[in-house]
Amino acid sequence: MARPNGPIVVCIINLKGGVGKSTISAMLSRYALAKRNLDVLAIDLDPQANLSQALMHANYNSFLTQQRPSIVEIFNGYQPPVGGSGPQPLGSAVELIAQIGNKTLQLIPSRFDFSDNLTQAVRPDPKILARHIAANFQHKDLVLIDCAPTESILTRAAYHASGLVLVPVKPEYFATIGFPLLQESLDSFRKSNRGNKIEVAGIVINNAFYDGGNNGGPEKIRAMTDIKAEAVKNNWPIFDTQIPFSRGFPKIMRGDNSYSGNAAMFPYFALEFFKAIGL
């Protein structure tokens, strides 16, 4: 049964790179379908297309060569003409990643030429994605949007479409470098879009232990002190459960499930996350 007000929409963002946004987006998407029986849409808003590759693996290449619709076409509003016929309607334009019973995990993939495409467009409308979700995906339980680490029209597109923000951080020096920027960008978005009450669901500490299974030592303690201070300043909660460092994550991302190591602990965070967002 669909939710009365449509899906919960969460964007995964940090204006700092390499903190685990795409890894967490992929892990949460799969977990939501497999373990929580949710109907899920994942959206890749990053031209690096890491989430698309992590969910599609080898199929990503055929998606590119067959020129199937991606987030680029959604921003353009049509599929380019083929074989002499004109522009084609988009429909819901998704890739099927997994299905259990009548529930699916679907993906709107990204392409490397995404940013070129947008900069060539005359003032792309940041509300297009929100409209596309409202028109086509009200039956979903959850939409997860993986964002790029830089602020752009795509960040605003993610804000327009989302009710909640999940902020992954790595507990190391420079961990909070992106926080003031993110808070500023959320504040300025809320000011100019008073109807939108986008909120930070929480900060998740990712990559929490270091190689060898130690606890991160004094550097982690210092980083955690910084993260807590910045979180209090912005009134952002921090999830109690941390996601550990694990060589299993990169393996799982490439579709190799032969070893998961501490990545097997991901469900502890997922449980807390889904409880927090009410799903």
Site map (CB under 6 A) of ligand ATP, residues 75-114, x = contact: ----------------------------------------
Closest distance to Mg ion from the beta carbon of 113 (Å): 17
Interaction partner, residue 20 (Mg ion, ligand ATP, none; CB < 5-8 Å by kind): ligand ATP
Contact between 21 and Mg ion per CB under 5 A: yes
Tokens of 9: 């929409």
SS3 124: coil
Residues 6+ apart with CB under 8 A from 236: 167, 200, 202, 203
Interaction partner, residue 19 (ligand ATP, Mg ion, none; CB < 5-8 Å by kind): ligand ATP
State the number of binding residues for ligand ATP (CB under 6 A): 19
Among 14, 22, 106, 246, binds Mg ion (CB under 5 A): 22
Q: Which of 72-80, 95-103, 129-137, 247-255 is the region at the interface with ligand ATP (rule: CB under 6 A)?
A: 247-255
Amino acid at residue number 50: N
Q: Interior CA angle at 235 toward 171 and 31, to 5°? A: 60
Radius of gyration of the chain (CA): 19
Contact between 115 and ligand ATP per CB under 6 A: no
Site map (CB under 5 A) of Mg ion, residues 36-55, x = contact: --------------x-----
Contact between 249 and ligand ATP per CB under 6 A: yes
DSSP state of 123: S
- Span 47-76, contacts to ligand ATP by CB under 6 A: 48, 50
Site map (CB under 6 A) of ligand ATP, residues 139-158, x = contact: ----------x---------
Q: Which residue is nearest to Mg ion (CB)?
A: 22
Closest by CA position to 249, among listed 63, 13, 8, 26: 26
Rank residues 81 and 250 by Cβ distance to ligand ATP and give the closer one. 250
Q: Are strands 164-169 and 142-146 parallel, antiparallel or unpaired?
A: unpaired
Instruction: Look up tokens 């300025």; give the residue.
Output: 188
Rank residues 23 and 76 by Cβ distance to Mg ion and give the closer one. 23
Contact between 207 and ligand ATP per CB under 6 A: yes
Interaction partner, residue 243 (Mg ion, ligand ATP, none; CB < 5-8 Å by kind): ligand ATP
Sheet of 95-100, strand order: 95-100, 103-108, 40-44, 142-146, 8-12, 164-169, 199-205
- Distances from the Cα of 183 to the Cα of 11, 49, 127, 130, 179, angstroms: 14, 25, 20, 21, 6
- Span 5-24, contacts to ligand ATP by CB under 6 A: 17-23
Contact between 14 and Mg ion per CB under 5 A: no
Give φ, ψ of 198 to 5 degrees: -50, 135
Q: Rounded to a whole number, what is the largest CA-CA distance in the chain?
A: 64
* Positions in the binding site for ligand ATP (CB under 6 A): 17-23, 46, 48, 50, 149, 206-207, 243, 245-246, 249-250, 253
